[in-house]
Chains A and B, each alone.
Chain A
């Protein structure tokens, strides 16, 4: 069809050659028509950011025409003495400028924000400062009401409408920021469908006697809602992919049925030194490009009761190795990983006793969750080995420097920096990584 139309255009041109002055106009017209019918030119410009599927089914993120691999970090720079409600976006000391410099030196090209601040002007300023000064792009996310009390009501139309409005407002507000990379919807909200965190239900689900079917119904409701958001976002913003935030791969077999408009999966994974079969499992359950949007290791040995920066660096180096092994064009991997955003840039001192202001100024060493994958300190009492306040690859000090808590890069900062400089070489050298 394209070929015959082309012939038609050039046929018309041939008939008009003798017409003299008309020739230039006809040439322009013929070029216009040929480009239109061939789909080469103005028909549909490429999005600014999109995911390309290669011939070997590998996925590659393309930003402004060039491959882009996410070397990222989760960013939430809460200062000592404040908690998660603190509006750091409006901090006059602009901590992101100090952090941005350190990030750029390390090789970070992306930060992940879980949810934007309340003041759009402040948020814009942060995005622009990071992009214009350091070339760092931003992934913007939305909790989708996951932390609402008493629970997120994904089966409730009013709740859905309110969350949808919030998400679309965010998209309209920031979609034209040059530093924007993509959107992530939710984080580990799927755990609420499985009843593991913030469980919710509907009268219809309650009537179902089989708990497995109940779970399926919740997954369908939730993922269908996310898909409807992705659809709407694409209408408003065709320039940025939309990723589904998900805890592990739980529930994605349902997403596979109801999420045709989701472009990528952004998973939270805490599996220690390896991601196991994550990359191939995703291929088998919900074949979408993968961003590992939260992973990492703490740097406090709960067994020996002391900071252990080697432990954190060991896990992060191993994890980044696997992320690179599974990127596009790597022959030995699944080829579906677009990169990752490790958790996290700086420690957050408020986390352990989040509702006790006195605790926000204490770097708490008490662990309150357990994960055997981080095996060096799993022999801690009651196997409580994960120290939520010690995940930063950059420590913060009560000492004030440039108006903010002084930044002190940990060993992981330097180890990952060296890895990023030459991942291929590091892979060869680190076949048998030892702590």
Chain B
């Protein structure tokens, strides 16, 4: 009997991935204090595989045994993101999954109950590289993750720095997407190279659940194309989305900085709706399905600058908030119709008396073909909560 027990123990020790396959030690019922996503190329501690390449996956190159200046051990991970929009998406990212390529169609999540944070080390090749967000969980499907937590945007330095995502109070009972990153061609127009190392969940009892923090003002929706201050993504194309052309890096005569937003609305009613608009969302394409609203309670107004190509273009509504779903915006406010001038003009949306404690839809415009029969070309810049 003793020999069998020793054999079992030896097997467990030689296959640590099995011994802690649910994050909990099944023999003792105790939760492991550290649960590694990636430590070194061939480390038996690695529990997830960086297999979930997303968006412009052709823009990503990965060297998972980069040996030059790892944070610890002998290797780290080198990512090169070229921002060439190989798949026409304008963004790219990688999920660490279990098993590989599991987008929620197979059972493979770990029970990480007891973990209170994930930490990782990162650096950029030059410093200043912007990662739009790092995330834990969030994989949907038949076997969906029990949580989805994000942090970002993060501007990397050229030396190793440790980052922490607070997971205290989160439901970590099933996590198949152990870690991930996403960035965009807008944030990194010339591409970036960055490094990651020592990604691990930790059970740190001193970490307390994070209450949603009130964002400090000013809080930008859009500042400049590559600005790390941008908090929302113009992903919510509505109505006749085929009528819209959007350039978030227009460099000709911005109001401030090096770029502004140029929008061409053709008014052709491509989808037959006879109207169109764009919501700036967090994260991209969040129609109230992801719990990711910002607490903008300190804001008393939203200001933005706008101008029309010719002057006289009519925008039916500029609006903030108002996205409703499983996770709804706490309020909405807007102005309109607005007839644009040819010169840059500042507009204000009054937020006094509004509950801005949870805002997924940071900004929105909408117009229609009836008031713009020839279409409309207009520009936006410096959209911010104050």
Closest beta carbon of chain A to B158's beta carbon, Å: 43
Which of B288, B323, B339, B355 is within 8 Å of A280, CB to CB? B355
**Across the interface, do A281 and B355 meet the contact criterion of CB distance under 8 Å?**
yes
Which of A272, A281, A378 is within 8 Å of B353, CB to CB? A281
Chain A contacts of B336 at CB under 8 A?
211-212
* Least CB separation from A280: chain B residue: B355
**Across the interface, do B325 and A211 meet the contact criterion of CB distance under 8 Å?**
no
* Least CB separation from A196: chain B residue: B316
**Across the interface, do A211 and B337 meet the contact criterion of CB distance under 8 Å?**
yes
**Across the interface, do B335 and A375 meet the contact criterion of CB distance under 8 Å?**
no
In chain A, positions 188-216 with a C-beta closer than 8 Å to chain B are 195, 209-212, 215
**Across the interface, do A211 and B339 meet the contact criterion of CB distance under 8 Å?**
yes
- Interface residues on chain B, size class: 20 to 34
Interface-side segment among B39-47, B205-213, B326-334:
B326-334
* Least CB separation from A274: chain B residue: B328
Q: Is B314 an interface residue (CB 8 A)?
A: yes
Bound state CA distance, A195 and B331, in angstroms? 22
In chain A, positions 260-296 with a C-beta closer than 8 Å to chain B are 271-274, 276-277, 280-281, 284-285
- CB 8 Å contact bits of B287-318 with A (1 = contact, 0 = none): 11100000000000000000000000010000
Contacts known (A281-B354, A375-B288); A276 close to B331, Cβ less than 8 A: yes
**Across the interface, do A375 and B330 meet the contact criterion of CB distance under 8 Å?**
no
Which of A210, A280, A378 is within 8 Å of B287, CB to CB? A378
Of the candidates B289, B324, B336, B353, the one having the most CB atoms from chain A within 10 angstroms of its own CB is: B324
**Across the interface, do A212 and B337 meet the contact criterion of CB distance under 8 Å?**
yes
Bound state CA distance, A152 and B323, in angstroms? 31
Which of B325, B330, B354 is within 8 Å of A372, CB to CB? B325
**Across the interface, do A277 and B354 meet the contact criterion of CB distance under 8 Å?**
yes
Q: Is A373 an interface residue (CB 8 A)?
A: yes
* Least CB separation from A284: chain B residue: B353
**Across the interface, do B338 and A212 meet the contact criterion of CB distance under 8 Å?**
yes
Bound state CA distance, A69 and B329, in angstroms? 28
Closest beta carbon of chain B to A330's beta carbon, Å: 18
Closest beta carbon of chain B to A332's beta carbon, Å: 15
**Across the interface, do B326 and A375 meet the contact criterion of CB distance under 8 Å?**
yes
Chain B contacts of A375 at CB under 8 A?
287-289, 324-326
Closest beta carbon of chain B to A251's beta carbon, Å: 13
In chain B, positions 239-273 with a C-beta closer than 8 Å to chain A are none
* Least CB separation from B287: chain A residue: A372
* Least CB separation from B323: chain A residue: A372
Bound state CA distance, A274 and B355, in angstroms? 14
Bound state CA distance, A271 and B335, in angstroms? 20
* Least CB separation from B336: chain A residue: A212
Closest beta carbon of chain A to B221's beta carbon, Å: 20
Chain A contacts of B337 at CB under 8 A?
195, 211-212, 215
Bound state CA distance, A233 and B287, in angstroms? 44
Chain A contacts of B353 at CB under 8 A?
280-281, 284-285
Chain B contacts of A280 at CB under 8 A?
353, 355
Closest beta carbon of chain B to A256's beta carbon, Å: 12
Chain A contacts of B326 at CB under 8 A?
273, 375
**Across the interface, do A372 and B355 meet the contact criterion of CB distance under 8 Å?**
no
Bound state CA distance, A78 and B29, in angstroms? 62
Bound state CA distance, A211 and B367, in angstroms? 13
Contacts known (A281-B331, A373-B324); A210 close to B355, Cβ less than 8 A: no
Chain B contacts of A372 at CB under 8 A?
287-288, 323-325
Bound state CA distance, A274 and B352, in angstroms? 21
Bound state CA distance, A274 and B287, in angstroms? 15
**Across the interface, do B314 and A276 meet the contact criterion of CB distance under 8 Å?**
no
Chain A contacts of B355 at CB under 8 A?
276-277, 280-281
Bound state CA distance, A373 and B336, in angstroms? 23
Bound state CA distance, A201 and B270, in angstroms? 30
**Across the interface, do B324 and A272 meet the contact criterion of CB distance under 8 Å?**
yes
Bound state CA distance, A32 and B35, in angstroms? 86
**Across the interface, do A211 and B314 meet the contact criterion of CB distance under 8 Å?**
yes
In chain A, positions 353-380 with a C-beta closer than 8 Å to chain B are 371-373, 375, 378
A-B contact pairs, 27 of them (CB 8 A): A212-B335, A212-B336, A212-B337, A212-B338, A215-B337, A271-B328, A272-B324, A272-B325, A272-B328, A273-B326, A273-B328, A276-B324, A276-B331, A276-B355, A280-B353, A280-B355, A281-B355, A285-B353, A371-B324, A372-B287, A372-B288, A372-B323, A373-B324, A375-B287, A375-B288, A375-B324, A375-B326
In the A-B complex, the 9 residue pairs with the smallest Cβ-Cβ separation, listed nearest first, are: A284-B353, A373-B324, A277-B355, A211-B337, A277-B331, A375-B325, A272-B324, A372-B287, A375-B326
A211-B339, A276-B355, A375-B287 are known; give 20 further A-B pairs, CB within 8 A.
Answer: A210-B339, A211-B314, A211-B338, A212-B335, A212-B338, A272-B325, A272-B328, A274-B324, A274-B328, A277-B354, A277-B355, A281-B331, A281-B353, A284-B352, A284-B353, A372-B287, A372-B323, A372-B325, A375-B324, A375-B326
